[in-house]
Every structure is written in structure tokens, then in C-alpha cells.
Chains A and B, each alone.
Chain A
């Protein structure tokens, strides 16, 4: 008679764990995806301006590359959060 609730409880725990894993995966996906979109939007304008500036004067390549990749930090943070969530 005791077995049934215990078995049910085990199934419940397993289910809960599984759903927690799912939520974690979802969170990780959102962390990378949304930050990726953010970085993309930010880099869009900088990138086009950078290409224009480089076309006018090649010497600024190093500087504009720096400016272009500044927003990448956002997606790196997202990625770190995602990796910490999953592993």
C-alpha cells in the first residue's frame, strides 16, 4: 500500500527535474538569442559607418574594428549566462 505514493512521488520528482531542465534550456536559448539580436542591431549602424570610413581612409581600420566589436560584449555575456545555466 505504501509503494504507490512513493512511486508517484518519484515520478513527480523526475517530472519536475525534467521540466526544470527544459526551463533552463529555454532560458539559455533566450539568453543567447536575444543578446545576439541586441548585438546585431547595435553593430548594424556601427558596421556600415565603419566600412564607409575605411573606404575613405584605410588607416582607420584598426580603430573602426574596435568600435564595431564593442557591442559584441552583450552577446558574450549572454553566452556566459547560457553556459552557466546549462552546465
Chain B
């Protein structure tokens, strides 16, 4: 429970002609984490080579690329599809052979046609853009070209020009640019060019068209709209195919992915001319199952051996081993880092403490219920593994919020009909605020206690981790250093308790004084402090500079109170503005403007609480997880374990 699942290292050796059978069996079992063979990595593998893919690898890979291309065209996402029935593998193989080429052909024809139409639209738009400048000039387009004795200039100029030689000119003043067309005899070409250049002339291409410009523009626009209509029809057809074949396509992808992974598995094995060797990891409780299955599949012509594990050098893949209620918290662990194989796995503690922190911070029946509804309502939209886990974390957190809400007697910032069972967080906001007000010092002490216990637990786990992982003199030093940190923390506390009386904490101030102003508990505290510092310094003297973190980390738990109080304050302010200031005064004598105010009050109430809920999720979630990552994990947890990803696939759309 507190450690990752136990793994065993397996060595599988068989002749090459059994490779297909072995790979298939391993894939089906979905238990074997392959340790990739790297050429010339270790001396015992001298003479071995990386294997070559099994037959059919290339075809399967090509088909897979095709299927993914079609899925891309249809924007099908396998995540979003829920299979109604699972297709049988054998059926699918036949269907892939027969139906897939047909679908590919149909889709290719449609997308090809669509691409051609889109290109046509672009071309026509280009032509329209070319003709548009000539639209306002009263000349047919065929009058612009085909002369042997005249030259035609058309383009934009900065200003009107007067040309000394004989010519015919059309000038059109525009907003930003002026359009000009000049027709002149060929022999005056140079002169006209010079005059135009002076007016910063920019030539435009003369379109090779005939008829009036407007009629040509209309013609091309007609073609564009026709093409657009056809594209729409094609889109409808593509949508039809998508509806019809989506499930088949994702099933195809799954089958082909299986095939590709299986046929390419030998690339991860070591081979000689006649045999192959596969090394990998299997959960210890499944070793017998895998061995038996392999022997059965190959008729006993295989050698399977459990190798000894060298924890120093082997990187053992890590699979969580938690009771089902703690599983969602694995997501929170993976965000930080997966535990190493030799390390204690704190998932169980996170799964219990995280919701408690969240509840202590949010602690509101109304918000808790809203979150609970949300965590169930969002299940339809978040179907991935991580999404589901996140929603389960949210569900646990919201249940805890409701529980603490009942204790705090809070619902959307209002008080419930009973007075708070735990410490009150009711602030005095608004004109008729009554009651005691928040018990902040008591809440702070509670937070400090939580911090002290949480950090002590972290240090104890740190001692356990060092005891498991280290050897020799270093092991003792490391364990003692962790004990030293605990001693320093509780030593400081003992000294404080002997000097200042505090609520909900032991009071040692009344004990008789022994030396100077110190009583017996203070002396014990000082001894613990000094011993602790010595233990810490023995492991690493540099750690001494970290001593102030003892205080800052414990005080950091005050955020449980602070963030919670701010959330209560916002909720109460919203209620005061919406109800106390906007709605209530109007209810005494209802007028038309009064109704407007009431509507405004309702809007403020809804938006305000929605905003506060969002802040509550962020505040409650982030601060709780931060207390774990920063204050708790730094005491004992390193992480950096390799994820256990067994060879095989969790099938969703097909079955064997």
C-alpha cells in the first residue's frame, strides 16, 4: 500500500520462429514492461543485434497512416467516441481488407474534388481582383490589347498627369490610389512612360478578357458561388461518411495500432541468427501467469527465467499499488513526480489529507454541493483517464467541503440554523451583523497543529525512506539528521510552551523554574534543539542555513485559515451587497425601479457566487496541493520513478 507494486525481472529466450507467438501472447497479457535492448550496451550481450520487424509491419504501418489521415479529415477523435459494441478482431481484419480501401478511395475523391474547387475559387477571386480596377472605366476589356500601332498603359499614379504627345486618357480619382489608363501611339511610348514615372506610376496587368468588366466580374462571381455550393454538398457527404464510419475507423486504428506495435516489438529485442532474447518487468504476482502462458503458447519450447534485481543500477518501472479510494490521488502524484521503486509511495496519505485540507479551506455546504454536482455533471465531457481521476479528486474534495461546511455552519456565506460546531469563521459584515465574530486565534492554532503533525509525519517518512534506500554510515547519519529536524522543531515548541501560555496548547509556564528563567520543560526543549542541530550538522553542515524553514513551513499552514477566511469574506460581502443593499430595501415598498434593483441584486448574487466558487476551487485546490508538494514532500520524497507501461493496449473498440 505504501510501496509501489513489487516487480520481477524476466528473461525470455526462444528461437526466432516462435517470436510472433511470444509477442502475441505478451501483448494479449498486457503485463510485460519491455526493457529496450540497446546495441553494445553491456558486455554480456556481445554479438547480439537488434531484431527486425515481423512480416506485415510495413503494410500495417501504411494502413495506420491512411486511417489516421481519414480520421484527421473527418476530425474524429477516438477519445470522444464511446463504442456501443465491440467489434471482433477476426471480423475487423476482413473488413479492413475490404472496406478500408473503398472508404479511402471515396474520401480521397471527395477531398480531392474539394481541393480542386477551393483552388478554382482562389483563381477566380484573383481574376476578379485583376478586373475590378477597370470596372469604372467605360471600355470593353478587349479594347485594351491586340494593337500593333498603339501602346496601352494601365496602373496607379499619385496624381493626374498631362501628356504633351497625342493620346487618349482615362483618369479615375480614388480614395487612396488614382487609376489611370493611357493609350498612345507606339512611337511616343518613351515620352508617355517618362511622364507617368514622374507621377510614381505602378503598372497593373491587363486582363486577357473580353466584354464589359462588370459582366466578367459577375461571371466569375457566379462560378465562385457555384463552387462554394458544391463544397457545401461535399461537406454534407463527408459528414455522412463520418457518421456512418466513425466507429469503424477508430476500431481500425486500434487494430492496426496493435498490429504495428506487435510487428515492431522485435526492434526492442536482442537477437542472434536463430534466437531472440527479451528482457523486461512483470509484477511479481503475475510472474507465474506469464511464464505459464508463454510455455503453453509455444508448447514448452521457451526459456523463461526470473533474474535477480539490482536496485542500485536497474531502473525498475513503478506501478502504484493503492486501495481503490486512493487511486484518483495518483494523478496528483504524477503531476509532481512518480515515486522511485525503492521509495515509500505517499499516495494514500495525499488521498486522505488533500480532501481534508480542501474542506478546511472551502468549508461551505452550498459550494460543496455545487462542486459535487459539477464533478458528476462533467463526467460526460471529461472521459479520459486523467479527467476521470481529476473529477474523482474533486468529488472527494467537495464531500469534505460539505462536511466541514456543516461543522463551520456555512452555506453560501449564510449561517446555517445552528451555531458553528467547530471554530466559527463568521465575519461581522453588514449592518445587522451579530455574534461572536471569527475565532481567528483558535483557527490559527488549529492550522499550526496540523502543520506540526504533517511535517513530523513527513520527517518520520523521511527516516523510513533513508532506512530503505541508504547503506552503511550514510544511512545512520541520514536517519539521525531527520530525527534531528523533528527534535529541533519540538524543542523550539517546548521552549515556547514554557514561556507563553497559548490556547489549545500545553501550558508549562506554571512549572517551577530551575536554572535562570528556565523550567524543566524549557531545559528539555533546549537540549532537544541543540542535539537536533548537531545531528543535522553531522550529515551536512550546509543544512544549518535551512533551519529557519522549520518556522516558515509550520506557519505556512496558516494559509488553511487565511485562504478560507478570505473566501468566507467574499461570500458574505456578496450577500450583503446583493441582499442587504439591493434587494431588501426595495421589498419594503415595491416600485418599478425597485424591481430593477431586485433583478440587479439577483445578478450580483449569481455572478458573485460563481466567481467565488471558481476562486474557491483554485484557492482550495492549489493551496492544499502546494502544502503537500512544498511542505510535506520536501521532507522525504524525491520521485523520478519510471512509469510501468506494459506491452499491450487497453482495447476500447475491439476484442480478441
**B 331-375 binary contact with A (CB < 8 Å = 1; else 0):** 000011100000000000000000000000000000000000000
- The 8 nearest A-B residue pairs measured at CB: A87-B440, A62-B336, A73-B552, A62-B337, A79-B562, A83-B440, A80-B558, A76-B556
**B 603-635 binary contact with A (CB < 8 Å = 1; else 0):** 000000000000000000000001001100110
Cα A77 to Cα B104 in complex, Å, equals 65
Flag whether A59 is at the interface (Cβ < 8 A): yes
Flag whether B441 is at the interface (Cβ < 8 A): yes
Chain B proximity of A74: nearest CB distance (Å): 9
- Given A62-B629, A62-B639, A69-B630, A87 contacting B336 (CB threshold 8 A): no
Contact call B555/A76, Cβ cutoff below 8 A = yes
Residues of B within 8 A of A87 (CB): 438, 440-441
Contact call A61/B336, Cβ cutoff below 8 A = yes
A residues 63-87 near B (Cβ < 8 Å) are: 65-66, 69, 72-73, 76-77, 79-80, 83-84, 86-87
Cα A72 to Cα B559 in complex, Å, equals 10
Cα A83 to Cα B558 in complex, Å, equals 10
Q: Which residues of B contact A (CB under 8 A)?
A: 335-337, 438, 440-441, 444, 552, 555-556, 558-559, 561-562, 626, 629-630, 633-634, 639-640
Contact call A80/B444, Cβ cutoff below 8 A = yes
Residue of A nearest to B437 (CB): A87
Cα A72 to Cα B627 in complex, Å, equals 12
Residues of A within 8 A of B634 (CB): 66
Cα A49 to Cα B614 in complex, Å, equals 27
Cα A59 to Cα B629 in complex, Å, equals 14
Contact call B556/A73, Cβ cutoff below 8 A = yes
Additional A-B contacts beyond A65-B630, A76-B556 (6; CB < 8 A) = A61-B336, A62-B336, A79-B559, A79-B562, A80-B558, A83-B562
Residue of A nearest to B562 (CB): A79
Cα A69 to Cα B634 in complex, Å, equals 13
18 contacts between A and B (CB under 8 A): A59-B337, A62-B337, A62-B633, A66-B634, A69-B626, A69-B630, A73-B555, A73-B556, A76-B555, A76-B556, A76-B558, A77-B552, A79-B559, A80-B444, A83-B440, A83-B444, A83-B561, A84-B441
Residue of B nearest to A70 (CB): B630
Cα A84 to Cα B559 in complex, Å, equals 14
- Given A76-B556, A80-B555, A66 contacting B630 (CB threshold 8 A): yes
- Given A59-B337, A76-B558, A65 contacting B552 (CB threshold 8 A): no
Contact call A62/B335, Cβ cutoff below 8 A = yes
Residues of A within 8 A of B337 (CB): 59, 62
Chain B proximity of A87: nearest CB distance (Å): 4
Cα A87 to Cα B640 in complex, Å, equals 44
Chain A proximity of B413: nearest CB distance (Å): 20
Cα A79 to Cα B444 in complex, Å, equals 11
Residue of A nearest to B447 (CB): A80
Contact call A77/B555, Cβ cutoff below 8 A = yes
Residue of B nearest to A73 (CB): B552
Cα A3 to Cα B634 in complex, Å, equals 66
Chain B proximity of A58: nearest CB distance (Å): 10
Cα A62 to Cα B630 in complex, Å, equals 9
Chain B proximity of A31: nearest CB distance (Å): 12
- Given A61-B335, A79-B558, A66 contacting B629 (CB threshold 8 A): yes
Contact call A76/B559, Cβ cutoff below 8 A = yes
Chain A proximity of B343: nearest CB distance (Å): 14
Chain A proximity of B550: nearest CB distance (Å): 12
Chain A proximity of B569: nearest CB distance (Å): 12
Cα A43 to Cα B55 in complex, Å, equals 56
Cα A76 to Cα B336 in complex, Å, equals 23
Cα A65 to Cα B555 in complex, Å, equals 19
Cα A77 to Cα B552 in complex, Å, equals 8
Residue of B nearest to A65 (CB): B629
Residues of B within 8 A of A86 (CB): 440
Residue of B nearest to A82 (CB): B562
Chain B proximity of A85: nearest CB distance (Å): 11
Residues of A within 8 A of B633 (CB): 62
